[in-house]
Amino acid sequence: MTLPFGPIQPIPEPTISGSLLGDWAISVTRLRAGSAGEDRRGEPIPGADVSAELPPAIFQPEGNEALVAAGVSATGTEPTVYWPNANPDVRVGDRLVIDGDTWLVHERPSRTPLGLVVIVQGVESTRGSP
């Protein structure tokens, strides 16, 4: 179909360039309980952790609050890991090691056309106290 301003052009797929991560890129290691077999009822027995390096990500470690307007409650966000243009294998119950801290994936990861979004909660820190 030709319109007065020319033929209809397809809309390109949305993408985020890998260079967007730049200095924001962090390394992420996934810890997932391995299997030590099954119990007498056929239920899986958790085994030793199996670790895997995941693609670089962007990490928002703390929730933030923003005042919307006078008299309106503030909104907040939870610690979140973003993988632009990537969908690594991450499941509820996995633990992610980011900058020496371990975070639990406690909600189902959200797969979007622009990549994976994972909300986490803090589990433990391997860094020394300040």
pLDDT (tens digit, 0 to 9) for every residue of the chain, 130 residues total? 555 666 666 766 655 554 556 778 899 999 998 888 899 999 888 889 999 999 999 998 775 555 556 666 555 568 899 999 899 999 999 999 998 899 999 899 999 888 999 999 888 655 544 4
Q: Tell the burial category of 65 from Cβ atoms under 10 Å away from its Cβ (0-12, 13-18, 19+).
A: exposed
Contact 25, 56 (CB under 8 A): yes
Is 76 domain-assigned? no
Is 72 domain-assigned? no
- 27-36 tens-digit pLDDT: 999 999 888 8
Is 1 domain-assigned? no
Is 120 domain-assigned? yes
Q: Residue 120's beta-bridge partner residues? A: 105
Is 57 domain-assigned? yes
Is 54 domain-assigned? yes
Supply the pTM of this predicted model.
Answer: 0.69
* Cα–Cα distance, 114 to 17 (Å, whole number): 10
Is 102 domain-assigned? yes
Tell me 127's DSSP state: S
- 7-27 tens-digit pLDDT: 666 766 655 554 556 778 899
Instruction: Return the half-sphere exposure (C-beta side, CA atoms, 13 A cut-off) of residue 115.
Output: 17
Is 14 domain-assigned? no
Q: Print the domain residue range for 53.
A: 25-33+46-61+88-124
Contact 30, 90 (CB under 8 A): yes
Q: Which amino acid is at 2?
A: T
* Cα–Cα distance, 64 to 86 (Å, whole number): 25
Q: Tell the burial category of 76 from Cβ atoms under 10 Å away from its Cβ (0-12, 13-18, 19+).
A: exposed
Tally of structural domains, the chain = 1
Q: Which amino acid is at 63?
A: G
